[in-house]
Amino acid sequence: MDRAILHFDLDTFFVSVERKQDSRLEKKPILVGGTGDRGVVAACSYETRQFGVHSGMPMKMARMLCPEATVIRGNGETYSKHSKEVSEIISQNVPVFEKASIDEFYADLSGMDKYFNCFGMASELRQRIIRETGLPISFGLSTNKLVSKVATGEAKPNNQLQVEAGTEKVFLAPMEVQKIPMVGEKMNQTLNNLGIRYVKTIQEMPMEIMGQVLGKNGVALWNRANGLDNSPIIPFHERKSISSERTFGKDTGDVRKMREMVRAMAETLAFQLRTGEKLTSCVSVKIRYSDFNTFSKQLKIAYTSADHVLIPHIERLFDQLYNRRMMVRLVGVSFSDLVTGNYQINLFDDTEERLNLYQAMDYIKTKYAYNKDGDQILTWASTMGISDIGAMGNPFNGEPPIIPAHRNA
What does the alpha-carbon distance between residue 19 and residue 43 come to, in Å, rounded to a whole number? 13
**Paired strand residues for 8:** 105, 139
- Which amino acid, one-letter code, is at 332? G
How far, in Å, CA of 106 to CA of 99, rounded? 6
DSSP string, 308-321: HHHHHHHHHHHHHH
CB 32 within 8 A of CB 93: no
Residue partners of 227: CB distance under 8 A and separation at least 6: 144, 146, 147, 168, 169, 171, 172
User: Residue 364: what residue type?
Assistant: I
Pseudo-torsion of CA 354, 357, 361, 362, nearest 10°? 70
Neighbours of 333 (CB within 10 A): 29
Is residue 9 a known part of a binding site? yes
Is 103 assigned to a binding site?
yes
Containing 356, the helix (H) or strand (E) segment is helix 352-368
CA distances for 84 relative to 124, 162, 246, angstroms? 19, 25, 26
Cβ atoms of 45 and 255 closer than 8 Å: no
CA distance 211 to 323: 42
Catalytic positions: 104
Cα-Cα-Cα-Cα torsion 39, 44, 47, 48, nearest 10 degrees, comes to: 30
Distance CA 259, CA 318 (A): 7
342's torsion region: left (phi>0), alpha (psi -120 to 50) or beta? Answer: beta
8 A C-beta contact, residue 328 and residue 287: yes
Determine the Cα angle at 364 with ends 358 and 368, to 5°: 150
| Spatial distance between the Cα atoms of 286 and 171, rounded to a whole number of angstroms | 43
Binding site members for Mg(2+): 9, 103
